[in-house]
């Protein structure tokens, strides 16, 4: 081009304006040339960050990208001018600390999956230093800098338990093996709970000697025979909703791990409360008497029947003595909190439905006179506090600075050590399309 033959380093604002018009950016001539007096050397030093940021603040993305493409062509045509002005050519470099080359370049890095991150930074001594970029290379060699060589934050690059580094904006590691450990933990907790239920059944107080305790709700509301079945039906509906959310959630492995670890911990706590104190039956309709199941094997067989029936009356399981605190309330409340936490805040109907099922389930448990009011209250309180405390620690990662938290909650630290901050509510279809469907629809 005629304007480039004169030497860009000697251009004034008039030549820059002429070049902008030839490239199709006439509308930006007043902004760049008249208002900000852009000349040849400053044009060569112009970056995409300058165009997007104050005082230029060009808001049209297409114009920014096209202008940068034109600038790159201009820089390639004026390599000598770049070297004379001390402006690094893209893809080339200058001596950095007398040892290696450095230069500003636009590059792309993968996070180990299919996502790509655009970065602009400095390459010095063969190591990447992120400058203006949105992410950084976390392959063990990259460092985040603020443009002056200072490391910005250790949170931008983290090492996982497998020794690999990942950027904070990269995909969350599902760590399926930890999810498997959490499922095993919940299974063992439920099995132990079933065995303790058999033991406390043998120790249930005699109804003639120890009648039902006074309870303000049970004494005021007549018993509804079908209410407990309705409570379990509410739990089944909530479970179906949660399974659908879990199926479609992008980070389903982390969600499942959190559910199992929380529910398993609460059930272990329930084992302690049931075993320590045996309450009298809450209603005369419960014909409970101490049952001796004989040896340990008979107890294990009964515990296996309770575990296989999920402790539900709908599956034919009937137990006594496991009152403090309500396991049905624990399950219903946990499912409600997980559904409302891991769905978008704008899904008001789903959240309202979840809370209605939770509250009606609690009401039906009491209306059936299957638990004391204190059983339900304690179960709701412990479950909600555990959920909120767990997620507060996980989302803020405050436990990393607290030795006490790591000592008292080692399992939590183990499950959450590689999860940075809140888990985003992102959804995707979990299954690949069959080959036949791919052929038909392309």
Q: d(Cα 332, Cα 359) in Å, to the nearest integer?
A: 9
Distance, C-alpha 308 to centroid of its chain:
31
Tokens at 372, concatenated: 């004391």
When comparing pLDDT for 409 and 110, which is higher? 409
Bridge-partner residues for 128, per DSSP?
123
Q: d(Cα 273, Cα 276) in Å, to the nearest integer?
A: 5
pTM given for the model: 0.62
Q: What is the largest CA-CA distance in the chain?
A: 109
Residue 190: which pLDDT band, with cuts at 50, 70 and 90? very high
When comparing pLDDT for 225 and 101, which is higher? 225
Q: Is 404 helix (H, G, I), strand (E, B) or coil?
A: helix
Q: Is the dihedral of CA 351, 354, 360, 361 positive or negative?
A: negative
Strands 127-130 and 143-144: parallel
Cα of first residue to Cα of last residue in the chain, in angstroms, is 45
Please tell me the predicted confidence (pLDDT) of residue 140: 36
- Indicate if 143 belongs to the active site: no
Map 151-216 to HEC letters.
ECCHHHEEECCCCCEEECCCCCCCCHHHHHHHHHHHHHHHHHHHHHHHHHHHCCCCCCCCCCCCCH
The model's pLDDT over 193-222, given as tens digits with 9 standing for 90+, comes to: 999 999 998 888 888 888 899 999 999 999
Please tell me the predicted confidence (pLDDT) of residue 7: 77
Residue 101: which pLDDT band, with cuts at 50, 70 and 90? very low
Residue 353: which pLDDT band, with cuts at 50, 70 and 90? very high
Tokens at 140, concatenated: 């063990």
- Segment 119-147 shows an average pLDDT of 40
> Catalytic pick from 219, 328, 351, 391?
328
The single residue listed with the structure tokens 């094997």 is 297
The model's pLDDT over 225-256, given as tens digits with 9 standing for 90+, comes to: 999 999 999 999 999 999 999 999 999 999 99
Q: Report the phi/psi class of residue 321: left, alpha or beta, with left for phi > 0 and alpha for psi in -120 to 50.
A: left
* pLDDT at residue 147 is higher than 50: no
The helix or strand, by DSSP H or E, that contains position 356, with its residue range, turns out to be helix 348-367
Q: Report the phi/psi class of residue 316: left, alpha or beta, with left for phi > 0 and alpha for psi in -120 to 50.
A: left
Please tell me the predicted confidence (pLDDT) of residue 188: 96
* pLDDT at residue 117 is higher than 90: no
Contact between 255 and 375 under an 8 Å Cβ cutoff? The reply is no
* pLDDT at residue 57 is higher than 70: yes
Residue 273: which pLDDT band, with cuts at 50, 70 and 90? very high
Q: Which of 106-110, 327-331, 436-440 has the highest mean pLDDT?
A: 327-331
Total Cβ atoms within 10 A of residue 300: 15
Tokens at 345, concatenated: 């805040």
Tokens at 326, concatenated: 């309500």
- Indicate if 375 belongs to the active site: yes
Please tell me the predicted confidence (pLDDT) of residue 127: 42
Q: d(Cα 46, Cα 55) in Å, to the nearest integer?
A: 13
* pLDDT at residue 35 is higher than 70: yes
Low-confidence winner among 97-101, 323-327, 347-351 (lowest mean pLDDT): 97-101
* pLDDT at residue 272 is higher than 60: yes
pLDDT, mean over the chain = 79
Please tell me the predicted confidence (pLDDT) of residue 361: 97
* pLDDT at residue 280 is higher than 60: yes
* pLDDT at residue 165 is higher than 50: no
Total Cβ atoms within 10 A of residue 393: 18
Please tell me the predicted confidence (pLDDT) of residue 290: 66
* pLDDT at residue 343 is higher than 90: yes
* pLDDT at residue 126 is higher than 60: no
Total Cβ atoms within 10 A of residue 317: 17
Domains along the sequence of the chain with CATH: 2-85 (1.10.150.50), 94-167 (no CATH), 176-416 (no CATH)
Please tell me the predicted confidence (pLDDT) of residue 87: 63
Please tell me the predicted confidence (pLDDT) of residue 129: 42
> Catalytic pick from 94, 375, 391, 432?
375
Q: Report the percent of the chain where pLDDT is more than 90.
A: 38
When comparing pLDDT for 346 and 164, which is higher? 346
Please tell me the predicted confidence (pLDDT) of residue 440: 61
Please tell me the predicted confidence (pLDDT) of residue 78: 80
- Indicate if 251 belongs to the active site: no
- Segment 269-285 shows an average pLDDT of 90
Tokens at 89, concatenated: 């050519």
Q: d(Cα 267, Cα 383) in Å, to the nearest integer?
A: 10
Q: Report the percent of the chain where pLDDT is more than 70.
A: 75
Q: d(Cα 438, Cα 80) in Å, to the nearest integer?
A: 53
Please tell me the predicted confidence (pLDDT) of residue 292: 63
Task: Classify residue 431 as exposed, middle or buried by CB count within 10 Å of its CB (0-12, 13-18, 19+).
Answer: exposed
Q: Which of 264-273, 309-318, 404-413 has the highest mean pLDDT?
A: 264-273
Please tell me the predicted confidence (pLDDT) of residue 50: 85
Tokens at 338, concatenated: 């997980």
Closest C-alpha to 259, from 325, 329, 179: 179
Tokens at 12, concatenated: 């004034």
Give the CA count within 13 Å in the CB-facing half-sphere of 82: 22
Helix locations, 30-111, DSSP H = 40-44, 48-52, 61-77, 79-85
* pLDDT at residue 154 is higher than 80: no
> Catalytic pick from 143, 201, 249, 371?
371
Beta-sheet strands, E only, within 202-319: none
* pLDDT at residue 83 is higher than 80: no
């Amino acid at each position: 081009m005629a304007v480039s033959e004169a030497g860009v380093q000697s251009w004034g604002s008039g030549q820059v304006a002429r070049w902008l018009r030839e490239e199709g950016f006439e509308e930006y001539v007043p902004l760049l040339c008249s208002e900000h007096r852009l000349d040849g050397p400053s044009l060569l030093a112009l970056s995409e960050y300058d165009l997007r940021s104050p005082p230029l603040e060009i808001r049209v993305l297409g114009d920014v990208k096209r202008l940068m493409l034109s600038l790159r062509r201009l820089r390639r045509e004026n390599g000598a001018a770049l070297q004379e002005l001390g402006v690094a050519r893209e893809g080339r470099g200058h001596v950095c600390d007398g040892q290696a080359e450095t230069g500003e370049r636009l590059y792309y890095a993968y996070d180990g999956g299919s996502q790509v991150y655009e970065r602009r930074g400095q390459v010095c001594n063969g190591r990447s230093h992120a400058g203006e970029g949105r992410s950084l290379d976390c392959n063990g060699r990259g460092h985040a800098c603020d443009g002056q060589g200072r490391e910005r934050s250790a949170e931008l690059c983290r090492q996982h338990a497998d020794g690999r580094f990942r950027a904070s904006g990269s995909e969350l590691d599902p760590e399926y093996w930890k999810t498997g450990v959490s499922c095993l933990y919940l299974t063992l907790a439920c099995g132990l709970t079933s065995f303790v239920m058999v033991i406390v059944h043998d120790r249930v107080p005699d109804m003639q000697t120890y009648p039902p305790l006074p309870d303000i709700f049970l004494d005021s509301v007549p018993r509804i025979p079908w209410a407990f079945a309705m409570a379990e039906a509410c739990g089944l509906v909530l479970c179906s909703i949660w399974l659908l959310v879990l199926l479609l959630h992008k980070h389903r492995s982390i969600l499942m791990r959190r559910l199992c670890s929380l529910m398993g911990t609460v059930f272990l706590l329930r084992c302690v409360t049931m075993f320590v104190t045996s309450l009298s039956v809450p209603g005369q309709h419960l014909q409970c008497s101490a049952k001796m199941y004989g040896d340990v094997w008979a107890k294990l067989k009964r515990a296996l029947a309770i575990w296989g029936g999920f402790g539900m009356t709908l599956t034919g399981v009937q137990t006594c003595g496991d009152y403090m605190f309500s396991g049905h309330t624990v399950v219903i409340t946990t499912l409600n909190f997980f559904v409302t936490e891991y769905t978008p805040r704008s899904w008001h109907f789903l959240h309202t439905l979840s809370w209605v099922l939770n509250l009606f389930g609690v009401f039906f448990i009491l209306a059936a006179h299957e638990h004391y009011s204190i059983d339900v209250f304690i179960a709701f309180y412990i479950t909600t506090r555990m959920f909120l405390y767990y997620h507060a620690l996980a989302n803020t990662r405050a436990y990393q600075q607290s030795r006490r938290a790591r000592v008292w909650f080692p399992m939590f630290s183990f499950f959450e050590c590689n999860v940075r901050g809140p888990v985003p509510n992102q959804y995707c279809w979990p299954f690949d399309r069959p080959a036949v469907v791919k052929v038909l629809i392309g």
